[in-house]
Amino acid sequence: MDLGFTAEELAFRDEVRHFFRTQIPESTRRKVLEGQHLSKDEIVESQRILNARGWAVPNWPVEWGGQPWSPVQFYFFQDEMQQAGVPGPLAFNTSMLGPVIAQFGSEKQKREILPRAANLDDWWCQGFSEPGAGSDLAGLRTKAERVGDTWVINGQKTWTTLAQHADKIFVLCRTDNTAKKQEGISFILCDMTAPGVTRRPIVTIDGGAEVNEVFFDNVVVPYENLVGQENKGWDYAKFLLGNERTGIARVGYSKAKIKRIRELAGLELDGTEPVINDPKFREKLATVEIELKALEMTQLRVVANEKNRAKGKPDPASSMLKLKGSEIQQTCTELLMQVVGPYIMPYQPEEEGRNEPLIGPDYAAVAAPMYFNYRKVSIYGGSNEIQHNIIAKAILGF
Amino acid sequence: MDFDLNDDQRLLKDSVDHLISDRYDFEQRKKYAQGPDGWSREMWAQYAELGLLGLPFAEEHGGFGGGAEETMIVMEAFGRGLVLEPYLATVILGGGLIRRASSGPQQADLLPQIASGELLLAFAQQERSSRFNLADVQTRAVADGAGWRITGEKGVVLHGDVAGKLLVTARSAGGRTDRAGIGLFLVDATDPGVTRRGYPTQDGLRAAEISFNNAAAVALGDPAGAIGAVEQVVHEAIAAICAEGVGAMQCMHDITVDYLKTRKQFGRPIGDFQVLQHRSVDMLVALEQARSMTMFATVMSSEPDAATRARALSAAKVQIGKSGRHIGQETVQLHGGIAMTMEYKVGHYFKRMTMLEMLFGDTDHHLKLVSDAGSLF
Ligand SMILES: Cc1cc2nc3c(=O)[nH]c(=O)nc-3n(C[C@H](O)[C@H](O)[C@H](O)COP(=O)(O)OP(=O)(O)OC[C@H]3O[C@@H](n4cnc5c(N)ncnc54)[C@H](O)[C@@H]3O)c2cc1C
């Protein structure tokens, strides 16, 4: 045990920091740090810059573009990316679908899908949740029937994030009604442009439209769009959700948030005193910082422990990262509102080509919507109650 | 960064863990506590034999040359055992102060005596109203030929009742809370100018109130410039008690989860109730956050920049204080009435944890330090 970083580790940190801060457009990074939405083009551009450097999919197997990094290198990569305000490579492509295809897909699927997913030539979205299947995902009812060389898909998905940008969707479908509910599910790929696929935006409480309903009405896809084996989709979905959770602590983003809150609290005046001079506020800020520092170390420990675990088996300890990480992210949004004060009130949705000036300081408009929007982080990716259940069962043995 | 133990560390951990599990179960501990000193001389000899009493000292001083990671390993095991012996007072604080504040010849004289188990030390620092301010010192030091004379009152001196020598903070110059003017002095506990009154603390360990009335002393290092060394050693001690706390919290959590699986009410184990499962998960998260912060404290305890080090150690102390209080209270609550009894082990962890939270600054004290010091990142 040696709990300090080595000189090589610190040199790697400096290398990635320099890259992120010089190669990714400043305007994109500023938007991320200020909590504004990115356009599709900005997200694609950023991922392609990463991909050109070989860094869009470091978590994939090396033969498909992954990096043979140590846990500490992975940590610095992610941390520096997030602190610099670099949008992470699209999760649906890089941390969800990619690893599933690399592990369970056919050679043809690997060749056709992986390079395009890494370069964001195809934008994928995640068709798992349904109106009747949320936490109890295995209760899903969207059906795929084998007809000759094709699947015919009927049903509805919901909460599909950024489906408005998507070229393709990976869909969990029921393919056997007679089996136990986990054993009759298949993992099938589908074009968003296939006849019979329709999308309807869902407006969320912050006024945004990042999620959608997606309807399937007699959608026909080739049989070879099946990933792995028929009726084994639940195993792949579990594998995917396990991969999703390790990145979910978002320590670097929270660091950047706290930095910004601290800066704004130095600017925003309460009478003649900056908000940061209020000792009670400072204590709240210190409290989240301490939690975040501890979480950072916990994340390093969880990642370092991966080598001691069976490959591809998610570590239930990553549920702790989800719990604490979401709590901290949510607290940061509350602190930002507190800093801004009454000027969180004007509702000023983001618009292209706005010509009137914003009411209040330019950082005020996003504060309340971000607070509203971030309630999602304890709901999606397995709600925090479900994370408690996972830990209770898998770690504590209840 | 590497979280895996190296061979020496594994050996150390195995031997300490064995010692604690063989020789320090709850019943044995009770017996040690009832002995004349309130702890076990026999165990002390065992620690000496294993090299634990010289763990952080250089080999030339009879030590093991261990770093903060090694201390963490030992203290965590001691936390599990609820160890009563004056390890913190003698090795971490006493040995630390001698290493950080004194000259080569003093180190060569005293450190080997600690390592062999002959010399017990105590750190007489706190005064009636100084609370957690290490620079609030009213005890006076007056030059007397080549030596010094000490006069003043020190309180809650950990294991001050048995120490052979006392390390005393005293002021040779300056006003009550000035950082300059504070020295560190070595006083023989048998000096006629020393009066001490020993007593048990809430957690079953020992402490003393000590009066110095013109007691003869020698200075360790600069008689007016010891505050930096004192702070450094207190930081090392905070890292050590964080690790001790993690050991105690780990046990509370393990025992609670076991209890939930075995205690039956309404015809089933109470651990079948989801609300209790979720509360024990929250305890686990609090424990792991505390363990992470203890590792952070461990690395940062040797950080040369004093302000960076202070902020980090304060942050760790806040985490340990919060996690410890949460886990302690929940341990008692989830057990129900049984946890209220002196006969049952968990209450003793709860009490130790409560004292650790107070030691070297409570949660609010350290939270204020962190919040006034700017960003942790
Ligand atoms: C903004 C957003 C984006 C999303 N993006 C996607 C996406 O891209 N693709 C996708 O497939 N899905 C997506 N989701 C869906 C998300 O995964 C689900 O919302 C989530 O699984 C919870 O399901 P639910 O909303 O139906 O709530 P429910 O499952 O109905 O839960 C309601 C409440 O009951 C609790 N609960 C449920 N079961 C238990 C239990 N066993 N024990 C204790 N408490 C329990 C829950 O924690 C919650 O508090 C997204 C959701 C949101 C909000």
Kindly report, residue by residue over B197-215, the tens digit of the pLDDT: 999 999 999 999 999 999 9
Q: Which tokens go with A225?
A: 């769009």
Q: Which residues lie closer than 8 Å to A18 by C-beta, 6 or more apart?
A: none
Q: How far apart are CA B293 and CA A296, in angstroms?
A: 9
3-class SS string, B314-366 = HHHHHHHHHHHHHHHHHHHHHHHHHHHCCCCCHHHHHHHHHHHHHCCCCHHHH
Domain ranges across chain A: 7-89, 124-231, 245-394
Architecture in CATH for domain A124-231? Beta Barrel (2.40)
Query: What tens digit of pLDDT does each residue of B275-328 get?
Result: 999 999 999 999 999 999 999 999 999 999 999 999 999 999 999 999 999 999
Architecture in CATH for domain A245-394? Up-down Bundle (1.20)
- Put simply, whether A358 touches B (Cβ < 8 Å) is no
* Domain B121-224 and domain B228-373 have a common topology: no
B261·A397 Cβ contact <8 A: yes
Residue B167 scores a pLDDT above 90: yes
What's the complex ipTM? 0.88
User: Does the CB atom of residue A23 touch ligand 1 within 6 A?
Assistant: no
CATH of domain B7-115: 1.10.540.10
Beta strand segments in chain A, E: 124-127, 143-147, 150-157, 168-174, 185-191, 197-202, 211-222, 226-227, 269-270, 273-274
Query: What tens digit of pLDDT does each residue of B331-367 get?
Result: 999 999 999 999 999 999 999 999 999 999 999 999 9
Query: How close, in Å, is residue B129 to chain A by CA atoms?
Result: 23
Q: What is the pLDDT of residue A312?
A: 64
Q: How far apart are CA B292 and CA A317, in angstroms?
A: 13
CATH of domain B121-224: 2.40.110.10
B370·A385 Cβ contact <8 A: no
Q: Distances in Å between the alpha carbon of B318 and those of A290, B272, B348, B365?
A: 8, 33, 21, 9
Pairing of strands A168-174, A211-222: unpaired
Catalytic residue status for A244: yes
| Helices A279-304 and B363-372: angle between axes, nearest 10 degrees | 100
Q: What is the pLDDT of residue A314?
A: 74
Task: Report the pLDDT averaged over residues B19-28.
Answer: 97
B228-373 to CATH, choices 3.40.50.740, 1.20.140.10, 2.40.50.140, 3.30.390.50: 1.20.140.10
Q: Which residues lie closer than 8 Å to B245 by C-beta, 6 or more apart?
A: B79, B290, B294, B320, B323, B324, B353, B356
Give phi and psi for A120, each to the nearest 5: 55, 35
CB distance A86 to A253 below 8 Å: no
Q: How far apart are CA B79 and CA B349, in angstroms?
A: 9
Q: What is the pLDDT of residue B180?
A: 98
Which of A124, A383, A390 has the most ligand 1 atoms within 8 A of CB, as the residue to mutate? A383
Q: Give the amino acid at A46.
A: S
With 0-12 / 13-18 / 19 or more C-beta atoms within 10 angstroms meaning exposed / middle / buried, residue A278 is: middle
Domain ranges across chain B: 7-115, 121-224, 228-373
CB distance B104 to B60 below 8 Å: no
The angle formed by the CA atoms of residues B122, B68 and B306, to the nearest 5 degrees, is: 80
The angle formed by the CA atoms of residues B117, B123 and B129, to the nearest 5 degrees, is: 160
Q: Which tokens go with B13?
A: 């951990």
pTM (global) more than 0.90: yes
In terms of CA atoms, which chain B residue is nearest residue A262?
Answer: B375
A283 contact residues in B (CB cutoff 8 A): 367-368, 371
Taking alpha carbons only, the member of A149, A148, A235, A223 closest to residue A188 is A223
DSSP for B299-313 reads HHTT-SSHHHHHHHH
